[in-house]
Chain A
Amino acid sequence: MNILKQAKTVGIIAILAVLAGCAGQVNESVQGPSKVESDAERAAREARQAEFLAKQEAAKADQQAANLAAKTAEQLRNNAMAADTLFFFGFDKSDLSQDALDDLDAHAKYLAADQSAKVRLEGHADERGSRAYNLALGERRSNAVARYLVIQGVNRSQIESISYGEERPLSLSRDENGWSRNRRVELIYQ
């Protein structure tokens, strides 16, 4: 945004400078008696020139903005690829942590900018408690992530979500360390 504003300002200054130059030339040519330009004619010509120059500048700014957008898309993609794809939860919980939100924002910006990108969300639970309940809990977690992405502007059709419950643990250690790694949603680009 800032760069765009700067570009516009530079454009306007350039237009003013050119107009000033033209005004000088006009003044000189007016000295010939055969070519007497009325005030009205002069104003019209100046307006045409100004319009032409403004168009040229606008085209230049558009080009700059497009370059910028391409750079931004690339940047959004890079940000998303660098962001975490594992999001962790408390026992029997499905609310997202503040940490998760920062990384999810990066994914959301990229997905919102590129509608052809698709993700799969796999919800998981730790082994404690019953398996069918954990399957539902895993779904609740993947849905929490999906909902957040949608709120950030991602199209629902870009997201596929599935729950594996406690059936695919990342860690096999049977303590809070292992369990906390297993209560997760994995975000996988397709």
Chain B
Amino acid sequence: MRLFIWLVMAFMLAMPARAELVIEITRGVENPIKIAVVPFRVKSAGAFDVDLARLIESNLERSGQFVRVRRDTMLSLPGPEDQIFYRDWRAIDSEYTVVGSLERDTDGLLVRFGLHDVYGERVLFAERIPGSSDSLRDIGHYISDRIYEALTGLKGIFSTRLLYVSAERRSEKDQTFKLILSDADGGRPQTIFQSSEPILSPAWSPDGSRVAYMSFRGKRAGIYVQTLATGEVQKVSDFPGLNSAPSFSPDGRKLVLTLSRDGNPELYVANLRTGQLDRMTNHFAIDTEASWSPDGRSILFTSSRGGKPQLYMMNVSDKTVKRVTFDGDYNSNGAFTPDGKSIVFVHRTNERFHIARMNLKTREIRILTETDLDESPSVAPNGTMLIYATSSEGRGLLGLVSMDGRVRVRLPSVSESVREPAWSPFFN
């Protein structure tokens, strides 16, 4: 296999996509933390195009672990330098209150914020964050992460990013597919690759710098790896037949993928530096949708070798295979949770397709979603939630669900049909 590289036109990276994801919460936890995020005080001339307080409260609420105290119930709107009257916040049932300000200065802008414990009557922390004028959303996500970490003890996922595919269909043979990169809340969507042919299976490199995906060039399917910062594209494979379902090894040096160049869909491991291919499976059934375990020792994949699609686990060093799922006649598209202790996958039950989670030790299965045609689960790097694709009224949309199934958030897209979400790793 030869490797070669070319550049995607630079403007593709800068092209904003039209559709933004809108958040809609369908359920939450039973006792969410009540938090008031006071509108940030603007201390210099001119308006800002991001409402930081709204962005922060939406982020926190989307986790399912928080509920916002409505702005119109607040008795006062203090800034970070003002005295906080805790009694006023207790009166409206706020457990925590966030205050902040923003101003333009010679270097760009300066954001101040503080987090108050209403019942403890104390400041938990206060910070000054300098930034450039186009980094307001980054700052908002950073503040959300700080608050989330302080109050839950878990690392926040608000500064992570999403990849997904949008499709606009005019007819069976006239469609536009876009690979879109956005903030974790769906904000700032950018088209990083576009084609009139299908784009499938986007996957992140472990350091978040590159993405792998399947697309067609002409009538030929191929696996490509694109570096996000430069737009550089590396062709990994475009053999006759299937080239699909790439997944990075934890060290980022290899891809496991599906090729049918030997007549049948089989798993191969491609070394991204040398281009060397190592065949991993040899079975006349379908073997595909491989996903590497966080410790790099196992590969989870879908196979129809038992007659129906089921999940199997391969030991990478000796290529031995064990069947993992036995419940139901359709289990596919598996992925590991970041701790490697559970897997999430597509599970058919009562003729409907849901996302399920299995604890690998106890083998207990829990169905997490209630919609139908659910697919492509991808777990957030802190392991608290996953994003998946579902559909409603003929349109594809993305949903979030907590790992216990109790919190469900829908991210409907405004105009296009979206699918194939992939949650990035942490960037810091």
Contact = CB atoms under 8 A, between A and B. Distances in A.
A172 B394 contact: yes
Contact of A133 (B309, B394, B420): B309
Given A131-B420, A132-B245, A139 B260 contact: yes
Nearest to B220: A162
A140 interface: yes
B244 A132 contact: yes
B376 interface: yes
Interface string B369-401: 000010110000000000000010010000000
Contacts of A32: none
A46 interface: no
Interface in A127-180: 127-133, 135-137, 139-140, 160, 162-165, 167-170, 172, 174
B241 interface: yes
Given A135-B242, A139-B265, A140-B286, A129 B309 contact: yes
B244 A136 contact: yes
B302 A133 contact: yes
Contact of B219 (A131, A132, A162): A162
Contact of B332 (A130, A160, A162): A130
A84 interface: no
Contacts of B258: 132, 136
Contacts of B200: 131-132, 135, 165, 167
Contact of B173 (A92, A137, A168, A172): A168
Contacts of B219: 160, 162
B419 interface: yes
A165 B177 CA distance: 15
B155 interface: no
Contacts of A137: 286
A92 B308 contact: yes
A137 B330 CA distance: 14
Interface residues of B, number: 36
B333 A136 contact: no
Interface residues of A, number: 24
B346 interface: yes
Contacts of B82: none
B333 A130 contact: yes
B286 A164 contact: no
A127 B390 CA distance: 11
Interface in B237-256: 241-242, 244-245
Residue with the highest number of chain A CB atoms closer than 10 Å, among B173, B175, B198, B219: B198
A136 B172 contact: no
B289 interface: yes
B348 interface: yes
A138 to B, nearest CB: 9
Contact of A136 (B167, B175, B288): B288
Residue with the highest number of chain B CB atoms closer than 10 Å, among A135, A137, A163, A172: A135
Residue with the highest number of chain B CB atoms closer than 10 Å, among A130, A135, A169: A130
B158 interface: no
B201 A132 contact: yes
A168 B200 CA distance: 13
B336 interface: no
A130 B394 contact: no
A130 B242 contact: no
B420 A92 contact: no
A80 B308 CA distance: 35
A174 B219 CA distance: 27
Residue with the highest number of chain B CB atoms closer than 10 Å, among A137, A139, A162, A163: A139
Residue with the highest number of chain B CB atoms closer than 10 Å, among A131, A132, A135, A164: A132
Interface of A: 92, 127-133, 135-137, 139-140, 160, 162-165, 167-170, 172, 174
25 contacts: A92-B304, A92-B309, A129-B309, A129-B348, A130-B289, A130-B333, A130-B346, A130-B375, A131-B200, A131-B201, A131-B419, A132-B201, A132-B245, A133-B289, A135-B288, A136-B242, A136-B286, A139-B241, A139-B260, A139-B265, A164-B198, A165-B200, A167-B198, A170-B172, A172-B394
Interface of B: 167, 172-173, 175, 198, 200-201, 219, 221, 241-242, 244-245, 258, 260, 265, 286, 288-289, 302, 304, 308-309, 330, 332-333, 346, 348, 353, 373, 375-376, 391, 394, 419-420
Given A130-B333, A133-B302, 20 more contacts: A127-B373, A129-B330, A129-B348, A130-B376, A132-B333, A133-B289, A133-B309, A135-B242, A135-B245, A136-B258, A136-B260, A136-B288, A139-B242, A140-B265, A167-B175, A168-B172, A169-B172, A172-B394, A174-B373, A174-B394
